[in-house]
């Protein structure tokens, strides 16, 4: 794993929100990092030889961490996966309205047939 953290982050604006880019983490296959929210909830990111697991299981581990997982579309038709802290659902709904985006479905509620 290689970590490159910038002392002064690059800042840019997206739809009226300032984003701070603090750097990069380069993962080798089977390396994992856990991202932790200010409230202490965790979301893992794992590199594989074929790509990435962008999150742990949506309907088990993320749910147990207190997240709901939304598939969101913006007004340009771009798709996003958002992990939303359950107790911050109102903030998320306000964010979607401000961004002119909408939830297509809650992936953690998906009831796919077992194989």
Structure tokens at 83: 């992990």
Give the pLDDT of residue 12.
Answer: 94
Residues 6+ apart with CB under 8 A from 92: 70, 82, 84
pLDDT band, residue 74 (cuts 50/70/90): very high
Instruction: Look up the pTM and report it.
Output: 0.84
What's residue 103's pLDDT? Answer: 98
DSSP calls for 5-30: EEEEEEEEEETTEEEEEEEEEE--TT
pLDDT band at 16 (very low <50, low <70, confident <90, very high): confident
* Structure confidence at residue 115 (pLDDT): 66
Mean pLDDT across the stretch 35-40? 94
Instruction: Judge whether residue 53 has pLDDT over 70.
Output: yes
Confidence of residue 111 (pLDDT cuts 50, 70, 90): confident
């Amino acid at each position: 794993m290689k970590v490159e953290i910038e002392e002064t982050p690059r800042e840019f604006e997206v739809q009226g929100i300032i984003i701070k880019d603090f750097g990069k983490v380069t993962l080798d296959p089977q390396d994992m990092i856990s991202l932790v929210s200010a409230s202490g909830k965790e979301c893992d990111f794992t590199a594989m030889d074929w790509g990435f697991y962008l999150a742990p299981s949506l309907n088990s581990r993320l749910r147990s961490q207190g997240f709901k997982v939304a598939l969101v579309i913006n007004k340009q038709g771009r798709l996003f996966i958002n992990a939303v802290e359950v107790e911050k659902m109102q903030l998320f709904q306000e964010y979607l309205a401000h961004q002119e985006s909408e939830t297509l479905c809650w992936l953690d509620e998906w009831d796919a047939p077992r194989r």
